[in-house]
Each structure stands twice: as C-alpha cells, then as structure tokens.
Amino acid sequence: MARTPQTRTRKAPAKSAARSTAKSAPPKVEASKEELLELYREMLLIRRFEEKAGQMYGMGLIGGFCHLYIGQEAVVVGIQAALSSNDKVITSYRDHGHMLACGMESNGVMAELTGRAGGYSRGKGGSMHMFSRQKNFYGGHGIVGAQVPLGTGLAFAEKYKGSDSLSVAYFGDGSANQGQVYEAFNMAALWKLPVIYVIENNQYAMGTSVARSSAQPELAKRGESFGIPGVQVDGMDVLAVKAAADEAVAYVRSGKGPMILEMKTYRYRGHSMSDPAKYRSKEEVNKMRAERDPIERVRLNLLDKLGATEDELKAIDKDVKAIVSEAAEFAQNSPEPDESELLTDILIEA
C-alpha cells in the first residue's frame, strides 16, 4: 500500500511534533514579521468588513440572509496563504471572508450584499451567491453541502486537463452530515482527485451543536473509511492553519488524492443576522473572544515577539477601515440593477 491513511489530532501547534506519522517534518509555525503583518491585515479586513455588513443589515441596506464570518477569519486566511493563484476555491453561503481572501474587491462584494449593479453578480446573487472566475472563486452556494461535489468536480476538471492546480472545498460541521459529501469523498478518493476538504467546524450547525448532531464528532475522521487522511487543526491560530494547509497542499499536489483539514473554529455572531443564539451561553462566546481571538493573537504575537509597533498596526487598522468605508459608500451609491437585468443571464446564447 502506498499510504496508510490516518486521522491525526493536532490540538495546538506545539504538540504537532508528537503526531504519529514520522515522515513529514513538524510544521513550521514561525512567520516573519512581514508575513504575519499581511495575515493580520487580511484577517482584520474580513472582521471590519463583516462588522460593517452587520451594521448595514441592521440599517435595512442588506436584505435576506446574511451570514457573518466573524471569529473564523484565521481559517480562510491561513488556507489561502498556502495556495497558488490558479487553485480553485468554493464554499458555502458564509462566503464574504472567502471572497476577500481570494482577492476579490471589497466594493464589489459589499455592493452585491446591497443588491446593486456594482456587485459581483450585478445584484442578482446576493450574499450567498457570488463568484469570480478571474479570482478562481467558484461561489458562494446556498444549499448546505452542495459545494462539496461541485468542488470535487473542479478538482476532477484540473486532473482531466492535466494541470497541477487543486481545488479547495470549504464546508461546515453542518454540511459534514450531508450524504452528498460522502458520495464526493468516495469518488475523490477512488479517482485520486486533487481536492482539499476544509471543514470549518464552528461547532454549531445553525443552532445545533456538533455534539447534538454528529455520532462521530471528530470530523477529521469522517474520511477514514474512504482512506482520506484527516487532520484536526486549531482554526483560531492562523499560523497553525497555514502550516497544516502547506502540508495538505503538498500531499494533494503530489497526486495522492484528497485530504481533510478539520478547523476547530468559532463564530461569534449568530448563524445569520436573525439568529438570537439561544443555544449557547454568552459566557461561552465571551470566553472564546477573550481567550482565543485569532486577530488579537496575531496582534500580540506581532507586538511581543516580532517587534511590531502600535503605530505600524494602527496604520493597518486605518488602511482597512478606509477600504471598508469606501466599500460601504460604494455599495450604497451604486444603482440598483437596470430592470432589463431581470431577463438576462438565464441562458448563454449558443
């Protein structure tokens, strides 16, 4: 057998050296100041963007459903830092952070949230349905779990074309109980498709905790019967995420087939804007924010260990704030789509 699939648990990066496979070196969790400043900037942009989106939702400027990513920023920022620009990305409806991390413009994302012509889907998709082929971001999908076979299909296409690009399918602990996820796992493993499954385990599928919904709550093990190796990662630590992603990328790109990364993360806000979050205590949320916040962690690391100054960080804060303010401005001033848009983009002219 070429490989022995194993599910490993890595609760904290410091313990990673104790993993059972001896072949790969323990992941590096150090980063240069410049590298970490960039990760800090990207996470902060998502945080501030989402806070602004929440505020605009409250003001009635954003309609429908709006699922904020606040608290989970380290996951997408850490993973994306390990990818190449040709790699394909797909996720669920909690997608604003992924789009920003893929390099999509804040203006276009925010204007889609407000349903305006300047949005990425010209106002026809909304919060849950945005795409950018140019940035290899394939959505933004509103049906829980549907993005997993789709992302597997993107990987299929890359392998078929003989490219060395891979696909990353992000999904949550809720999706992890959908049948089609396992149908996709089976074929991805069978055909050795270049796909990384990133399970963003924020511990609640809407209001149902993993403990109350999952017979096997260690989601990294969900690929075991297909021979898909899985690793559990501290998803509140951007460097641990990046290190795990580096390993997964190397594994998947070498043609060995899919891999699962279970990110233990947490969303501070409700499932959507209209979620009163009665299913968990305030103490739980506050403790997580106080002790595990991914952005604060990096901030302290930068200040205490890497010699960054408050002024340097303030400059980033200011920069990010300006981007978000501009996006909010743009999203409110962009016109609604022309009425003729109602009847366009249904079919491509053959």
Partner 1 sequence: MPVPILMPALSPTMEEGTLAKWMVKVGDQVGPGDVLCEIETDKATMEVEAVDEGTIGKLIFDEGAEGVKVNAPIAVLLEDGEDERALEGFDAGSGGPAPKADAPSAEDEAEPEEKPKTKPQARAAEAANDDDEDDGDDEPDLPKGAETANMTLREALRDAMSEEMEREEMVFLMGEEVAEYQGAYKVSQGLLEKFGPRRVIDTPITEHGFAGIGVGAAFGGLKPIVEFMTFNFAMQAIDQIINSAAKTLYMSGGQMGCPIVFRGPNGAASRVGAQHSQDYAAWYASVPGLKVIAPYDAMSAKALLKAAIRDPNPVIFLENEVLYGRTWDVATDPDFTLPIGKAKVIRKGKDVTLVGYSIAVAKALEAADKLAEEGIEAEVIDLRSVRPLDTATVVKSVRKTNRCVTVEEAWPTCGIGAELSARIMEEAFDWLDAPVKRVSGVDVPMPYAANLEKLALPQSDHIVAAAKAVCYSE
CB nearer to partner 1: give 22 or 311: 311
Q: How far is the CB of 1 from partner 1 (least distance, A)?
A: 21
Residue 97 binds partner 1 (CB under 8 A): no
Distances (CA, A) of 348 to 9, 94, 96, 118, 345: 47, 28, 27, 21, 7
SS3 state of residue 108: helix
Report whether 204 contacts 175 (CB < 8 A): no
Q: How far is the CB of 243 from partner 1 (least distance, A)?
A: 27
Phi, psi of 32 (to 5 degrees): -75, 165
Token code pair at residue 339 = 């009425």
Token code pair at residue 224 = 């075991």
Residue 107 binds partner 1 (CB under 8 A): no
Report whether 73 contacts 119 (CB < 8 A): no
Q: How far is the CB of 173 from partner 1 (least distance, A)?
A: 20
112-131: which residues touch partner 1 (CB under 8 A)?
A: 114-115, 119-126, 129-131
Q: How far is the CB of 54 from partner 1 (least distance, A)?
A: 7
Q: How far is the CB of 161 from partner 1 (least distance, A)?
A: 7
Partners of 196 in the β-ladder: 168, 259
Q: Indicate which single residue of 23, 25, 32, 60 sits in contact with partner 1 (rule: CB under 8 A).
A: 60
Q: How far is the CB of 180 from partner 1 (least distance, A)?
A: 5
**Distance separating alpha carbons of residues 119 and 121, to the nearest angstrom:** 5
Report whether 147 contacts 170 (CB < 8 A): yes
Report whether 264 contacts 233 (CB < 8 A): yes
**Distance separating alpha carbons of residues 49 and 76, to the nearest angstrom:** 15
CB nearer to partner 1: give 71 or 78: 71
Q: What is the 3-state secondary structure (H, E, C) of 19-40?
A: CCCCCCCCCCCCCCHHHHHHHH
CB nearer to partner 1: give 9 or 204: 204
Q: Indicate which single residue of 153, 172, 235, 294 sits in contact with partner 1 (rule: CB under 8 A).
A: 153
Angle (nearest 5°) at CA 79 between 282 and 219: 60
Q: Indicate which single residue of 152, 177, 201, 265 sits in contact with partner 1 (rule: CB under 8 A).
A: 152
Q: Quick count: other Cβ atoms within 10 Å of Cβ 14?
A: 11
CB nearer to partner 1: give 17 or 300: 300
191-250: which residues touch partner 1 (CB under 8 A)?
A: none
Instruction: Fill in the per-residue mask, 5 to 44: x = in contact with partner 1 (CB under 8 A), - = not in contact.
Output: ----------------------------------------
Q: Indicate which single residue of 73, 87, 95, 158 sits in contact with partner 1 (rule: CB under 8 A).
A: 158
Report whether 111 contacts 104 (CB < 8 A): no
Residue 270 binds partner 1 (CB under 8 A): yes
Closest-CA residue to 89 (of 50, 174, 147) = 147
Closest-CA residue to 169 (of 254, 104, 237, 228) = 228
CB nearer to partner 1: give 122 or 264: 122
Place of tokens 């990010």: 320
Q: Which of these segments, 1-9, 11-19, 53-61, 96-104, binds partner 1 (CB under 8 A)?
A: 53-61
Q: Indicate which single residue of 36, 46, 150, 327 sits in contact with partner 1 (rule: CB under 8 A).
A: 150
Q: Indicate which single residue of 154, 205, 219, 308 sits in contact with partner 1 (rule: CB under 8 A).
A: 154
Q: How far is the CB of 282 from partner 1 (least distance, A)?
A: 8
Q: Indicate which single residue of 36, 70, 82, 109 sits in contact with partner 1 (rule: CB under 8 A).
A: 70
274-313: which residues touch partner 1 (CB under 8 A)?
A: 274-278, 289
Q: How far is CA 206 from the centre of its chain?
A: 17
Q: Indicate which single residue of 7, 36, 39, 57 sits in contact with partner 1 (rule: CB under 8 A).
A: 57
